[in-house]
Amino acid sequence: MPSEKNKEKIILDAATALFTTKGFQATRMEDVAKQAGISKGLTYFYFKNKEDLFLALTKRAFDEFKEVFKEVKRIKGKSGLDLICELFVQVNAFAAKNQVYYDSIISFMDLMKKYNDPNTREGISPLILESEHFQKLLTMYHDPAKLGVMMISQGIKDGSIRAELQPEITFYTIWSMIIGYEKMRGPISQDDKDIKINQESWEHGYVKLMRDMLKGTVQASKPITVQGSLF
């Protein structure tokens, strides 16, 4: 007989597969139970409802996402700037390989925008707020970013990143750019004779621009002061 933890894993694996193929809205708890080969009642024993199950999946996604950051952070012999550029590559590889996990992470960020605003928090379903997995996520969803901030700090220390940059602001700005990059991969892949860009050239250009911004080689041109007489 599978252990308690194994049963949870079997159910969560089944939910991950169904959310990937059918989507969250179209998946029912009985579908998950059937996929897992476990009774519907037992499925509800481990996960109170579909929202609770999706938040458990999101918790798993953040755990695996954090591992991506940790693996990049552990790379030896690279500057902080090199690590940030490698992180860009690995985050996009994670999104491509585990789209349902990446989507759940982005969905949770959207949820936090509502949660942290008193005017919109009351609109969040109690099924979400009461989930133990939601409470766990509240304590750890910043963990990947903390590792990213450490990479920026390392770059400032080793001289590969501009010394005047503030690590937290810089990393969250870079992360927002990475999120935007991943979202735009679909539109970029669509052929358009008027748009002179493709996935390969954009990725190369993105990394180069990010390097230039962090190193400080992108500088605003100073206006030329022209002195003249009014008369």
pLDDT digits (tens, 9 = 90+) for 44-103: 999 999 999 999 999 999 999 999 999 999 999 999 999 999 999 999 999 999 999 999
pLDDT the model gives residue 97? 94
- CATH of 1-47, picked from 1.20.200.10, 1.10.10.60, 3.90.340.10, 1.10.287.3510, is 1.10.10.60
Domain boundaries, the chain: 1-47, 60-215
Residue 223 DSSP class:
P
CATH number corresponding to 60-215 = 1.10.357
pLDDT the model gives residue 228? 40
- Collect all residues with Cβ–Cβ distance below 8 Å to 163 and sequence separation of at least 6: 156
What whole-number distance in Å separates Cα of residue 69 and Cα of residue 54?
A: 23
Q: Are 174 and 99 in contact (CB under 8 A)?
A: no
pLDDT the model gives residue 191? 64
- Reported as a pLDDT band with limits 50, 70 and 90, residue 3 is low
What pLDDT, in 10s, does the model give residues 162-189?
A: 999 999 999 999 999 999 988 887 777 6
The pTM of this model reads: 0.85
